[in-house]
Amino acid sequence: MSQSETDPNTGQPVGLPVADPSPAPRPGPVTLEGRYGRVERLAQQHDKDLWEAVKDHDALWTYMSSYGPFADFAAFSKWIGSRPPLEDPYCYAVVEPSGRAVGIATLMEIKPAMRSIEVGHIVYTPLLQRTPLGTEAQYLLAKYVFETLGYRRYEWKCNALNAPSRRAALRYGFAFEGILRQAMIAKGRNRDTAYFSMLDSEWPARKKAFETWLAPENFDAQGRQKVSLTALNGPKALT
């Protein structure tokens, strides 16, 4: 249940005032540096690295609503080239310290007036899956959204049948809100959409969980985690 107060004129319950109701800035071409790599604006030059990482992995595209998989490098490169001019969705590449691009993450459904934004169109190649950089990229984007841009609501939405995406949302600290039935027609098929969110009031606890998990001391000599991010984002994380 949302917090409320009583309207002084009608006596009805109303939502609490928003501290800053002015529109939030839109995402920009920033480079977000981390310990394990960086997030930077997606560019045409990322196409070769990304193609090498996604080719022969058609399952990466199954739940994308309108594109992929791609027949060859030419088709993929053309798609990559179509992304940078867009303001919404606004695409970023996830890049290793070596400079090799290994994934894509996108800020989209951008609603500055409502201070609401979504992270989606996520393409985590096998090179990025189950790596510290994969988690760090989500931390860097969330920090940018909440602390630099000042958004109040951060969304994660996915096909309700996409079990890995739903698990990832919960692991990163998003709260499950429900399923919108027959929300979309995706590639000619019905899509029920699962909704998750993270609020600005929840971010400090989520940030602490991310930073605790990402710390070098959370990994043993073989690179295995000591405490899981799921455990750090447990029910007590917001208290």
Q: For residue range 124-149, list pLDDT tens digits in order.
A: 999 999 999 999 999 999 999 999 99
| H or E, element range at 75 | helix 73-82
Contact 161, 63 (CB under 8 A): yes
Q: Which residue has the tokens 């969705």?
A: 89
User: Residue 36 carries which DSSP code?
Assistant: S
Please tell me whether residue 140 adopts helix, strand or coil conformation: helix
Determine the pLDDT at residue 2: 76
> Which pair of tokens denotes residue 143?
């920090």
Query: In this structure, how many other beta carbons lie within 10 angstroms of the beta carbon of residue 213?
Result: 23
Count CB-CB contacts under 10 A for residue 44: 13
- Stated pTM of the model: 0.95
> Is there a contact between 141 and 92 (Cβ–Cβ < 8 Å)?
yes
What does the pLDDT read at residue 234? Answer: 84
Cα separation, 125 vs 51, whole angstroms? 10
Candidates 138, 144, 174; CA nearest to 157 is 174
As to burial, measured by CB atoms within 10 angstroms (0-12 exposed, 13-18 middle, 19+ buried), residue 168 is buried
Tens-digit pLDDT profile for residues 62-103: 999 999 999 999 999 999 999 999 999 999 999 999 999 999
Q: What is the pLDDT along the chain (239 residues), one digit of tens a residue?
A: 678 999 999 999 999 999 899 999 999 999 999 999 999 999 999 999 999 999 999 999 999 999 999 999 999 999 999 999 999 999 999 999 999 999 999 999 999 999 999 999 999 999 999 999 999 999 999 999 999 999 999 999 999 999 999 999 999 999 999 999 999 999 999 999 999 999 999 999 999 999 999 999 999 999 999 999 999 998 755 44
**Residue 101 CB neighbours (<10 A):** 27
Give the Cα separation of 86 and 66 in Å (integer). Answer: 16
Residue 125 makes CB contacts below 8 A (sequence gap 6+) with 50, 53, 54, 57, 60, 102, 103
Taking residue 2's Cβ as centre, other Cβ atoms within 10 Å add up to: 6
Q: What is the pLDDT of residue 239?
A: 43
Burial of residue 37 (number of CB atoms within 10 Å: 0-12, 13-18, 19+): buried
pLDDT of residue 151: 98
